[in-house]
Amino acid sequence: MNENDLMTQVVALCKRRGFIFPSSEIYGGLANAYEYGPLGVELKRNIKNLWWKTFIHDRIDMLGLDSSIIVHPKTWEASGHINSFSDPLVDCKNCQRRTRADHLIENYYAQKQEPKLVEGLPIEELQKIIEKEQIACPSCGEFQWTPVRKFNLLFETSIGIVPESESKAYLRGETAQGIFLSFKNILDSTRVKLPFGIGQIGKSFRNEITLGNFIFRTLEFEQAEIEYFFDPQNSNWEELFDNWQEAMWQFVTIQLGIGKNNLRWREHTDEERSHYSLRTVDLEYNFPFGFKELWGLAYRTDYDLKQHMEYSGQDLRVTDSSDGRKYIPHVIEPAVGINRLLLMVLLEFLWQDEANDRLVLKLPYHLAPYKAAVFPLLRNRPELVAKAESVFKLVQSAMPTTWDDRGNIGKRYLSQDEIGTPYGVTVDFQTLEDDTVTIRQRDTTKQARVKIHDLLAELAA
Ligand code: ATP
């Protein structure tokens, strides 16, 4: 499958089989918004559970949190989001196409086969490049841009029922700030000692300008973020940074099973790195539209806690129990979008099996929405259907399972292959005689007969 075909196939499969739908389709759709259907929600949940198990449950130095989407608006002043959480925007005066100036320039150089990164450059610099290169509008071909200007990504809302007393608030642009707001309460309510981390998964909202690329960049998305707090005098930040880099790598290559050739690390340049970060690296995946950020890792120093101390007037310092020294912890932040992980998984595992003329979603077992599908060989034989129903109940009590009695068995197998179900279980006439069923494996298409008594063990992984 070539790269464009792959993306087209993934988008089509998602719609056809109920993984992901365009949002608000009955009203003509809403750009950059999507709905996760019955299978998409299961796949997304499996990814989130894996992240939670790996980074919260399986570690001794991590705690979980679920903070609010709308928090005190001062939070965003303190964090710098109100002033500087913006993208450089230009509009085409001819066709009204709105685009990110940095993306416009990067796409222009990519087409010339001279890849260049300009993200993070000041708007004056971007303006100069657009003018010098006379970069035309990709939609209409004209060169009639408005000046480059800053566009804040935070979604505004208001709190209050009486218009006069309404106050401006924001939907969170990242989950991380909620972690800093709860830092003191977590420290006071648990027996945790530094270094330790707080992780959470939740929705974030950004008024993104750039359209397209399916669920890669959307208006609302789920982030899984960690703030790892440490005492800079007692911990070596380079070492902690390396450890987190390794943990991210292990998660993507081993837990999610992504091929190493499709991954690479990219160090942020001084220009693009946020002013408070001493080091940032992105783990990038080879999407059909190029290597793009999947997961960011940043050493944010004590910037956020310091800012919140200043804006709130509260003391957020930690006391060193050995000598009474008070200090502001530093943090390392691994931040990933669950939706980008999900898109990567779909792209990585969609397989056109030419030999058997079928489309297979070769998901690792623990990610598959259904682990097994149970079929009665024929739907018009009550004794077969009754037996199959009892097998279905047995399997369903142990794992997410689906039922299918439409069409012929071959079609049912193909239908399950497309959605990644690792096992098909068929109840036939022999089952009525000797209590055995056929298990068919998704990837090999091999079939084997097993006793119902042994079925759950056979389907376990
Ligand atoms: P990008 O440069 O792609 O806009 P970012 O550097 O702004 O991303 P961060 O603020 O570091 O992203 O957010 C952490 C993670 O959240 C990203 O690595 C990405 O996986 C995810 N993410 C950020 N913005 C979006 C979005 N609009 N839609 C989906 N996922 C997103």
Residues with CB under 6 A from ligand 1: 174, 206, 208, 217-218, 221, 223, 293-296, 335-337, 339-340
Q: What is the pLDDT of residues 342-399, one digit of tens each?
A: 999 999 999 999 999 999 999 999 999 999 999 999 999 999 999 999 999 999 999 9
**Ligand 1, pocket-test mutation among 223, 268, 294, 341, most atoms within 8 A of CB:** 223
Q: According to the model, what pLDDT value does residue 273 have?
A: 86
pTM of the entire structure? Answer: 0.93
Residue for token pair 């998602």: 14
Q: What stretches in the chain show pLDDT beneath 50? A: none
- What H or E segment, with its residue span, contains residue 298? strand 290-301
DSSP tag of 366: G
Q: How far is the CA of 74 from the centre of ligand 1 (A)?
A: 23
Query: Is cis: bond before 73, omega within 30 of 0?
Result: no
C-alpha dihedral sign at 323, 328, 332, 334: positive
Angle formed at CA 80 by CA 234 and CA 264, multiple of 5 degrees: 65
| pLDDT given for residue 165 in this prediction | 62
Please report where in the chains the tokens 């450890």 appear, as a residue: 243
Taking only the tens place, the pLDDT of each residue in 133-153 is: 999 999 999 999 999 999 999
End-to-end CA distance of the chain: 28
Nearest residue CA, atom 16 of ligand 1?
337
Question: Token pair of 122, please?
Answer: 């000041």
Residue 29 φ/ψ, nearest 5 degrees: 90, 165
Interval between CA 337 and ligand 1 midpoint (Å): 6
**Which among 221, 189, 183, 217 has a CA at the least distance from the CA of 202?**
221
Residue 159 CB-half CA count within 13 A: 10
User: What angle in degrees, to the nearest 10, is found between the helix axes of 101-111 and 123-133?
Assistant: 40
Domains of the chain: 3-67+175-204+220-349 (3.30.930.10), 86-152 (3.30.40.230), 370-458 (3.40.50.800)
φ and ψ at residue 144, rounded to 5 degrees: -140, 55
Instruction: Give the Cα separation of 199 and 55 in Å (integer).
Output: 8
Predicted pLDDT of residue 3 = 67
- How confident is the model at residue 323, as a pLDDT? 93
DSSP string, 303-322: HHHHHHHHHH-----EE-TT
Cis-peptide into 22, omega within 30 deg: no
What is the structure's pLDDT at 191?
A: 85
